[in-house]
Structure 1
């Protein structure tokens, strides 16, 4: 857009305020616009969404936005309709100086999916700056002896605009003595000289005042003027000015040259003699201050030296006007121009800027996800300003060049937060200078957690030992699962895997706390009813979707002595059973046998028998086997013993504390005739006892083998528990074997009343219990014995 600054031309101001912009596509990801500098706020630049092929209705949902590089947002985009407009005043000269091309680079970012477009907006120059002369007034001392066509250089004007707006023309006010000669040094710079047309006469015109006008080539024209005061003094003797061997000196100077470095040596000569030919070198009065701060000239030998910092990025060239003045009266001056071209050196390291787009990075992000935008720049020029980027250390990220000095940080592999929670990357920008300079930027990429890990237990199966008759609600074990995820993805809750134990649900036996994992027994456990309870606990995290795993628990119910022995018939009744014994029986005759059972197991079910002490004098005629319960004679009965005796037998187990039961046996002593009536029944029992005695030898070896195997199994289980359990009472233990008890007193082996193998793991099957009884043999009978086996079906 062009603006007019000519006062009073309001209509022209409106006419030239129309915007001229050209939209063109560059490749598939760059759009080019142009806008005039000094455009007002809200000036239309282009339909950026339409030109990029985006749907206007989806701009808001796709988070359509524009990011500009720089400290100011000169341009803005309407997020509703995608129109790009001017946001703040744009001064091309302030933004780009005298660079022939001035552009603002924009990055258009669209999410879902993430896309990055590059837009270049060229800033067009308008004629908004007038030419400016370095000084308001310039004085020239010209002797009248100077011949026509003598030339006197003048300081030209400068215009910060570019192109035709900075193309200057000069004009001189009307006079009879001088004309203006302008020569082009370059497209923008011109050599302005004042040319003498006819000889001067100090007596006729002692002083001349001329006006030099500079006009630029813009539309409309902006002008600047300067008054030139020329004082002419007639010289009769010193009529030759010093003359340089060159009108223009050109030299190249490397930036950052040390102070004292000789730039060049200028030489002038004067054909006059004596003091009129002695020359003093100096810079002209119109030399700018920035030149005087960086260069100095030796007044005697003409050496031009560096006295300040030479920076290519500050100024690429210098123009220095040098004067050679003789010592005549009046003094005469010669002029030359020094053009210093500053050569760039690689003294500026690249600059790296990182703009984040997506942090933290989810660990399930797909390959190709753009993480950040990286822009690099270098104030140097040429190869010194060409920058390449690299990324270290090697990993799942890479840098992809998108447009000139723009890169995208892209995920090219998979990331796992549990393995690497964050990546510390270094972006290195290196220029093409020799030696090369570089700059680095640290990039920390955090990895966001997703629920990709299920809770895990330390071991697949836990073995727990619990004593029976526990109080309801007691804590029996704690399960613990770990989840390497974080936050809600690692919050673990516990629950039972419900199933039925026989006819009852598992939840009627145990429960688990959802947060702590503590397992509680909801009711007292009975070893006689339930020896092993097997179930599973599920651990599930709070992620989405939730993940879980199960662990198995084997709860062994340990037996306690909570069941007293029970006497079996025929001696189980309240009324005593009467046994007839002949007065003629021999010592050791078995008159009766007490049988009892105990619902417990192991030592709690190991029974012993003893007669309750009687207050009597002398040796009792009867005794009871300690472990067999057989009542036998200790001597031949006598009439003094009485015809009837009552025996009270106490049956005790080996539990702590021991429990007991009693049985009463009535014994009637009769003569031999009366005892024959019951001999038939007794003979049958004796015959049966004889057959059992024949098998005793075989069964003894069988029982010894069973005891040996059971002992080895118990030792193996104990060793296994010690190795697997981290702390009591945990352990890994299989189902126990029957508790085998050896009675050394009578030299026989016996099992407990019953061996229950109730293992509750959701199955209610029927299992067999094996009971073995061994008779107590008298000391005199060592050739035969009997072993009775009973098999009982239990649920």
Structure 2
């Protein structure tokens, strides 16, 4: 692959392929293969030789038809080489977000015989995102009466990468009045606090221009900057003070818009306009799920929450008095999951037809279970409904195999309606069912059966040649050629050379024809062995006897003993 050469060069410096094979013994064989690759490998790049790792030779690939069963086409398999190839863009941040581990799991399917193999591909993060501030500049008003040591929360940056490639710290350009402290939230994200080192004097300097830099520790490191403009205001004796520096609260994801979440409290010891406090979000443009009453400090739900989308919000609030002095606090809102997603059952790699002689434990289909909830709400139990000759086996997380678990007989049951019910462990539990019709294919497992154990037919002599004298019949419950019957004569008590001149049988109808007129005086009875044979492979057959009794007719003239003696004496006289 031309596009994969560069990626393989990267792999030589840093191993990306770690395959291992785990065989689970039993009729339903399961294999597990694992690879590790970096994100953003170009389309067509080689992940590993899946066919080889599964023990398939190149010569087997055309008949085994190795392929990938997955909802999204992240990977494909080369039909010629068996190599697992990148099929579409692998953006780790888009696929897994901030999860510390990012693994794509799917099933590889091989035909003839049908087998499923669980494949995991770990996607490693590369440093392809620099930290980004939500805004490029921040305005901060600080009273000249503010005492050294006062802290001010600044706007944070966001980095889509993880680990050392993600945002690690903030730096402030050197100056005499301010320093920077790196703080960490409960979810592990970092934010900067500006610390006043020395007193401010508005008469000496009315404003300060600072540069805030956010850096990651990737190789090479990436960074971004934001400008901070500090305006020094006239003395205002007392700034607002929040009752808590950090507020924490939990809400269910199904709370309705307008529902109160919590109320922050701040006080100011000044009087008059300097004691009038208003509340606001420091990054109001980024807050879309909550509303804040600027007078009371009450936070309410603005838009519907969804635990499956965002599990926690960290919001910085600002309290500002009438003199321009501010205080800040952080509100962390944890969204709690409720069981609001019904589990789904999806059939994949379903066989069109299951032959009735299929062995026990043969793979029939692959089942994927989806439930967006978490914890017990997302734990799903699968059940196969009804009394059917199948069972389900757990293959991997949220993946099951449907395999045969009993004898199949198409002649008794040509198809099965299989229903799988998925139920989660939520309270109350949610469930759904999915059904599929499995068609049973015919094999030649039934020999023809004659309608009678034996046949006897009476035929009067002097019958017309070519006329039918009997008919045998057989049935076969198989389908197609397996149930298509032809008839023949396989044995007789007549001389083999003479048989064809006496009788014949229609291969299609089983009608037996007389080939000559029978003579009771010469042949009073004979017996045939007829065979009914299907056209299966191998063919099955059955034999039956047909006894033909030739009846007498008055076809010879009578003569007396007296007439016979007189004729003899007369001949003697003439001779003498």
- Normalising by structure 2, we get a TM-score of 0.87
**Contact preservation (8 Å) 1:498, 1:505:** no
Query: Partner residue of 2:559?
Result: 567
Describe the SS at the equivalent of 1:515.
coil
1:70 partnered with 2:78: no
Q: CA deviation at 1:353?
A: 2.7
Distance 2:233 2:52 in 1: 73
Partner of residue 379 from structure 1, selected from 372, 375, 393: 372
**Residues 140 and 403 from structure 1, CA distance in 2 versus in 1: closer, same or farther, beyond 3 angstroms?**
same
Q: CA deviation at 1:421?
A: 0.9
Query: Partner residue of 1:590?
Result: none
Query: Partner residue of 1:459?
Result: 452
Distance 1:478 1:16 in 2: 78
**Contact preservation (8 Å) 2:69, 2:348:** no
Distance 1:14 1:418 in 2: 59
Query: Partner residue of 2:94?
Result: 94
Query: Partner residue of 2:42?
Result: 40
Distance 1:200 1:431 in 2: 61
Query: Partner residue of 1:338?
Result: 331
Q: CA deviation at 1:574?
A: 10
Q: CA deviation at 1:260?
A: 2.9
Query: Partner residue of 1:104?
Result: 104
Describe the SS at the equivalent of 1:570.
helix
Distance 2:561 2:303 in 1: 128
1:287 partnered with 2:284: yes
Q: CA RMSD in A?
A: 3.1
Query: Partner residue of 1:662?
Result: none
Residue by residue over 1:462-508, the C-alpha shift from the partner in whole angstroms, topping out at 9 and shown as x without a partner, is: 34344443322122333221110001101100111332436963332
Distance 1:385 1:267 in 2: 38
Higher relative contact order (CA 8 A, sep 6+): 2
Describe the SS at the equivalent of 1:122.
strand
Query: Partner residue of 1:486?
Result: 479
Distance 2:479 2:45 in 1: 51
**Residues 551 and 26 from structure 1, CA distance in 2 versus in 1: closer, same or farther, beyond 3 angstroms?**
closer
**Residues 349 and 503 from structure 1, CA distance in 2 versus in 1: closer, same or farther, beyond 3 angstroms?**
closer
1:311 partnered with 2:306: yes
Question: 1:656-671 residue pairs with structure 2 within 5 A?
Answer: none
Partner of residue 511 from structure 2, selected from 511, 514, 518: 518
Residue by residue over 1:606-640, the C-alpha shift from the partner in whole angstroms, topping out at 9 and shown as x without a partner, is: xxxxxxxxxxxxxxxxxxxxxxxxxxxxxxxxxxx
**Residues 163 and 223 from structure 1, CA distance in 2 versus in 1: closer, same or farther, beyond 3 angstroms?**
same
Describe the SS at the equivalent of 2:274.
helix
Query: Partner residue of 1:605?
Result: none
Aligned residues: 557
Query: Partner residue of 2:272?
Result: 274
1:441 partnered with 2:430: no
**Residues 125 and 502 from structure 1, CA distance in 2 versus in 1: closer, same or farther, beyond 3 angstroms?**
closer
Distance 1:507 1:204 in 2: 132
Partner of residue 409 from structure 2, selected from 390, 408, 416: 416
Question: 1:244-259 residue pairs with structure 2 within 5 A?
Answer: 244-259=242-257
Distance 2:419 2:294 in 1: 55
**Contact preservation (8 Å) 2:66, 2:111:** no
**Higher mean C-alpha deviation, range 89-98 or range 102-111:** 102-111
Q: CA deviation at 1:20?
A: 2.3
Distance 2:86 2:549 in 1: 82
Distance 1:247 1:132 in 2: 26
Distance 2:19 2:471 in 1: 71
Query: Partner residue of 2:28?
Result: none
Query: Partner residue of 1:667?
Result: none
Q: CA deviation at 1:159?
A: 0.4
**Residues 504 and 35 from structure 1, CA distance in 2 versus in 1: closer, same or farther, beyond 3 angstroms?**
closer
Describe the SS at the equivalent of 2:93.
helix
Query: Partner residue of 2:320?
Result: 325
**Contact preservation (8 Å) 1:453, 1:547:** yes
Distance 2:329 2:496 in 1: 119
Q: CA deviation at 1:561?
A: 5.2
**Contact preservation (8 Å) 1:357, 1:370:** no
**Contact preservation (8 Å) 1:64, 1:108:** no
Describe the SS at the equivalent of 1:489.
helix
Q: CA deviation at 1:513?
A: 0.9
Query: Partner residue of 1:185?
Result: 185
Q: CA deviation at 1:265?
A: 1.8
**Residues 321 and 485 from structure 1, CA distance in 2 versus in 1: closer, same or farther, beyond 3 angstroms?**
same
Q: CA deviation at 1:557?
A: 4.2
Describe the SS at the equivalent of 2:99.
coil
**Contact preservation (8 Å) 2:363, 2:401:** yes
Distance 1:537 1:368 in 2: 41
Alignment gaps of 5+ in structure 2: 1-5, 24-30, 570-576
**Contact preservation (8 Å) 1:248, 1:336:** yes
**Contact preservation (8 Å) 1:56, 1:80:** no
**Contact preservation (8 Å) 2:147, 2:196:** yes
**Residues 322 and 365 from structure 1, CA distance in 2 versus in 1: closer, same or farther, beyond 3 angstroms?**
same
Describe the SS at the equivalent of 2:158.
coil
Q: CA deviation at 1:384?
A: 2.0
Q: CA deviation at 1:543?
A: 0.5
Describe the SS at the equivalent of 2:61.
coil
**Contact preservation (8 Å) 1:499, 1:505:** no
Distance 1:574 1:521 in 2: 43
Distance 2:213 2:566 in 1: 148
